[in-house]
Structure 1
Amino acid sequence: MQRMTIKVLPLFIAICALKVGAATIGFFLHSVYLWGLAIPLFLMAIYIAVGLKYREPVISAEKFADSCYYLGFIFTIASIIFNLFDLPNIGDDLYSIAVRFGAAMVSTVMGLFVRICLVSFRPSMEDAMRTMEDQVVDASQRLAESYNKAFDDLEHFRGEVANAARETVRTVSLEIQSLTEQNAKRMDEFFLSVSAQHTEAMATVIQDTKTNTEELKAAVREYTAASVASVSKIDASVDNFREMVISRLEAVDFPEDLFTRKLGAAIEALNGSTEALTSGVSSISGEVLEAAKLVERSITKVNKKTESMTQTLDVAQQVSAQQGELLEAIREQNSGVLSVIQDQRTQLTLALVQHRESSVEGMVKQTVALAELASVFKRVDSSVEQVADQLSVAREQTVKVLYGIERVDQQNTAQGQAVKRNLDSLEAAITIAAEHASSITSALQHSNEAQGTNHAKVVQTLDEMGKTLVSHSELLRATSSHSPVSANPLDTGANPIDLQQESNDLSASSPATNEPSSTKSAWFKR
């Protein structure tokens, strides 16, 4: 809202006219205090109040104060003039003259008072400039002190940042070194334990294989010796029986077709049983050979597993080489991080030097440009902005340093994950080796089971042979009981119990003679 203004010149003329009118009325009415003092002072008060509040903006306070002083002086002169006009009527009354002149001088005093209040106590341009210069000098001194304090704080902050960076780098280096040493120590211990375990496992497997092989060889030798002994015993028994039968037959005269009729079926059965016994022994020998081949294949598998364990150890050595390369990479990354931090520290030092130079240049410029207040404040603002920019740059550098430290932590975390992955791969290799060892153990178990199966088959075959011989002996006894000389068969002390014993002996061995049945028939005929 626009303020209402009144022109001072018309107001000044109107007040002067009213003063002259009041003085004229007072001259005719001889009223000194009302028309000569009160009303003029009231008119001056109206002029001062209206002028102070509603004067034009182009009228300065100094000009308005001068107009008030001049208005009071005009009032005084006008009063003196009318008093001089009225001097003949006053005569020699000095009291009345003094009162009239005193009332006339009051307006001048009032105008002078207003002028002093509006002008004398108002600061001049020179005083204002001098005051502003003093304030600017004080402000520049305070600004220099602030700059020095800010520079000291920045130096202190830079030192703290450098110390923190060095401490962080040292801590990270120590942690990485300790972690590397711990990992190397654990890897060495792990590989030593794995090597020892694998060596013990391989020695145990080889020893078990050797033991099983020796046991199998001993069993084969026992089977061979037992078979040879059984065959020899069977041969001896058959020879004895043949000789005894021949001697008995020579002592007894039988019909020519007696044995042919009575023993033909038994001889044929005995011949078939002998052939079955021979085939059984052959099958047992083949099974023994197959068992030996199975043992040989088991030994071949053990050798293959040993080669796979050697390959596993080679893989472990490769993992150790990879761990060494990983340690070298960690050392290279540490050196790179140290170089990056050194570069950042150099950049921070250069930024601080530039900040110091720019601050000194700004202070010189501000000292030279103290004449113009507006430019001084602008340059002060620009210097403050430069300080803020430099502080922001220093803050950004600090953030970069912290980011570099975080990146080092991330790299250390990635390296720890890589070490963990390598350990996982090593555990997988060890698991594969354990599976190989379990497969070797299962193969040995299968070999032992096969050996047990072969042993059971041999025992079963021998049992069948024994049963066959028992049946043959019973058949011979039955045949002899139906013969004409059955009262004392073959009086040579060989009773049926002895024949049963011989047949039982034959059941514990395998036949070694394979003479044709025609020869035996010829013996019986003789």
Structure 2
Amino acid sequence: MALRTAFHRDLSARDHLDKVALVLAFLLGSAGSWTLKFLGFGPFWAMGCAVGAMLAYVAAVTALGRLQIEPEAIGDNCYYLGFLLTLSSLSATLYQLTQSAEQTELMRSVVAGFGIALVSTILGILLRVIFIQLRPDIVARDRETRIELQQAARELRVELALSIATMKTFSTEAIQLASEQGVKISEATALTVDTLRERMTADAEAHEAMLRTTLEQTSARTVAAISTHVTRAGSAAEDSIRASLTSLSRSIAAYADANAAAFRVREEDDARAEALADAALRRTRGLTVEIEALSARVTDALGGIRAGLESTVETMERAGSALADAQRVAVAGATGVPPAPVTGVPGRDLREKAEPVHGDGGGAIWFPFRRR
């Protein structure tokens, strides 16, 4: 509310400033004309004072920001100011007429005063006409503005059409460039993928060969170690069995020799000799049965060793095959190349080279290598 009151007060003060300027111009012009006339200056001095006051007022209300008003109001004020200054000059002349005694000189001065006084009126009317002409014609300005707006709208339509055509051309070029770039990128990507695939395939083949070589070497070493251990165990068992059989044979031979000596010593006693012979025969038969049972057990033990060796070899073959298959599948999954067929299984040749070893008790025992 206080701001609104201050604003209205400021507007009122500005409205009164041009009136104050008009009054001051009238007072200065009138006082100057009266003073110059009574001091004996010529009529042109009074005219110059009135014209100067009017021009000073016009300059003040035109140039000063706080005194600026509309051109129409300036013209009206100049017209009225000139008319008032004319009346003031005429009143001064008439006052001199009442104070003068010489008729001839008086008439000349009165006519000159009236002529000089009309100058301010003429100047006021001229200024009024000028400022009225300077007033803008609203209708003409509106018509000109409409014409300018229509012309600007037409130019805007033309510019928009040109812009749309340019945008269409640019979009077409952009689409073509994007398609060309897409083709180039696809070709470069395909070339890169092919190169990488070839490199990965070569690396996978190299790794597969290395793994196959390592697996074959490992399988061969493992089978060789197992075969060596089994051969040594079989040889030791065979030597032990042969030593036992030899010792048993020697014992039997010694026993038979002893019995023969006893038979020769005691030939005279037939009954006793027959008894001893029967006992020796029975004992010999029992020993023969024991030897056959021992041979059967040795044969069974060697058969178990052979079965264990065959199971171990088959297990190694299956493990090698499974490991090779897993490696090929992994390499194929990584590179997208179908796995190559395996021409041989590590460790299978060792079984094919195995030869049977025959024991003394009958039956064949298979060993991976021929014992020398």
Q: Normalising to structure 1: TM-score of the pair? A: 0.39
Tell me the SS of whatever aligns to 1:289: helix
Letter in 2 for 1:72: G
Q: CA deviation at 1:65?
A: 0.4
1:423 equivalent in structure 2: 334
Mapped pair 1:6 → 2:7 = no
**Which runs of structure 2 are paired with 1:421-460 in the superposition (5 Å)?**
423=334
CA offset digits 1:61-103 (Å, max 9, x no partner) = 2243034135425644775698699599552789746743552
1:108 aligned to 97, 106, 121, which one? 121
Mapped pair 1:64 → 2:78 = no
2:306 equivalent in structure 1: 292
Does structure 2 conserve the Cα–Cα contact (< 8 Å) formed by 1:25 and 1:35? Answer: no
2:183 aligned to 170, 175, 180, which one? 170
Identity %: 17
Q: CA deviation at 1:288?
A: 1.7
1:181 equivalent in structure 2: 194
Does structure 2 conserve the Cα–Cα contact (< 8 Å) formed by 1:235 and 1:511? Answer: no
Distance 1:70 1:199, change over 3 A: closer
Question: What is the rounded CA distance, in whole Å, between the counterparts of 2:160 and 2:210 in structure 1?
Answer: 72
Distance 1:222 1:131, change over 3 A: same
Letter in 2 for 1:107: S
Question: What is the rounded CA distance, in whole Å, between the counterparts of 2:34 and 2:127 in structure 1?
Answer: 26
RMSD over aligned CA atoms reads 6.8
Does structure 1 conserve the Cα–Cα contact (< 8 Å) formed by 2:212 and 2:324? Answer: no
Question: What is the rounded CA distance, in whole Å, between the counterparts of 2:313 and 2:319 in structure 1?
Answer: 10
Q: Normalising to structure 2: TM-score of the pair? A: 0.51
Does structure 2 conserve the Cα–Cα contact (< 8 Å) formed by 1:62 and 1:118? Answer: yes
Q: CA deviation at 1:212?
A: 7.8
Letter in 1 for 2:299: S
Distance 1:143 1:229, change over 3 A: same
Letter in 1 for 2:71: A
Question: What is the rounded CA distance, in whole Å, between the counterparts of 2:233 and 2:157 in structure 1?
Answer: 108
Does structure 1 conserve the Cα–Cα contact (< 8 Å) formed by 2:94 and 2:110? Answer: no
1:91 equivalent in structure 2: 104
Letter in 1 for 2:127: V
Tell me the SS of whatever aligns to 1:165: helix
Q: CA deviation at 1:166?
A: 2.0
Question: What is the rounded CA distance, in whole Å, between the counterparts of 1:184 and 1:54 in structure 2?
Answer: 85
Q: CA deviation at 1:151?
A: 3.6
1:147 equivalent in structure 2: 160
Letter in 1 for 2:301: E
Tell me the SS of whatever aligns to 2:116: helix
Question: RCO (CA 8 Å, sep 6+): is it higher in 1 or 2?
Answer: 1
Question: What is the rounded CA distance, in whole Å, between the counterparts of 2:131 and 2:288 in structure 1?
Answer: 160
Tell me the SS of whatever aligns to 1:6: helix
CA offset digits 1:368-411 (Å, max 9, x no partner) = xxxxxxxxxxxxxxxxxxxxxxxxxxxxxxxxxxxxxxxxxxxx
**Which runs of structure 2 are paired with 1:119-518 in the superposition (5 Å)?**
119-121=132-134, 123-125=136-138, 128-129=141-142, 132=145, 135-136=148-149, 139-140=152-153, 143-144=156-157, 146-147=159-160, 150-151=163-164, 154-155=167-168, 157-159=170-172, 161-182=174-195, 184-185=197-198, 189=202, 246=260, 250=264, 284-302=298-316, 304-305=318-319, 308=322, 312=326, 423=334
Does structure 2 conserve the Cα–Cα contact (< 8 Å) formed by 1:6 and 1:55? Answer: no
Letter in 2 for 1:104: A
- Number of residue-to-residue matches in the alignment: 321
Structure 1: runs of 5 or more not aligned: 257-266, 321-421, 427-436, 442-446, 448-508, 513-526
Question: What is the rounded CA distance, in whole Å, between the counterparts of 2:173 and 2:231 in structure 1?
Answer: 83
Question: What is the rounded CA distance, in whole Å, between the counterparts of 1:201 and 1:55 in structure 2?
Answer: 106
Distance 1:211 1:35, change over 3 A: closer
Distance 1:94 1:134, change over 3 A: farther
Letter in 2 for 1:158: S
Question: What is the rounded CA distance, in whole Å, between the counterparts of 2:23 and 2:239 in structure 1?
Answer: 165
Question: What is the rounded CA distance, in whole Å, between the counterparts of 1:128 and 1:152 in structure 2?
Answer: 35
Question: What is the rounded CA distance, in whole Å, between the counterparts of 2:259 and 2:28 in structure 1?
Answer: 194
Question: What is the rounded CA distance, in whole Å, between the counterparts of 1:15 and 1:26 in structure 2?
Answer: 16
Does structure 1 conserve the Cα–Cα contact (< 8 Å) formed by 2:34 and 2:89? Answer: no
Question: What is the rounded CA distance, in whole Å, between the counterparts of 1:26 and 1:203 in structure 2?
Answer: 140
Does structure 1 conserve the Cα–Cα contact (< 8 Å) formed by 2:33 and 2:47? Answer: no
Does structure 1 conserve the Cα–Cα contact (< 8 Å) formed by 2:25 and 2:54? Answer: yes
Tell me the SS of whatever aligns to 1:103: helix
Distance 1:313 1:25, change over 3 A: closer
Distance 1:245 1:113, change over 3 A: same
Q: CA deviation at 1:294?
A: 0.6
1:118 equivalent in structure 2: 131
Does structure 2 conserve the Cα–Cα contact (< 8 Å) formed by 1:6 and 1:56? Answer: no
Question: What is the rounded CA distance, in whole Å, between the counterparts of 2:154 and 2:66 in structure 1?
Answer: 42
Distance 1:54 1:151, change over 3 A: closer
Tell me the SS of whatever aligns to 2:16: coil
1:466 equivalent in structure 2: none
Does structure 2 conserve the Cα–Cα contact (< 8 Å) formed by 1:230 and 1:511? Answer: no
Question: What is the rounded CA distance, in whole Å, between the counterparts of 1:95 and 1:110 in structure 2?
Answer: 23
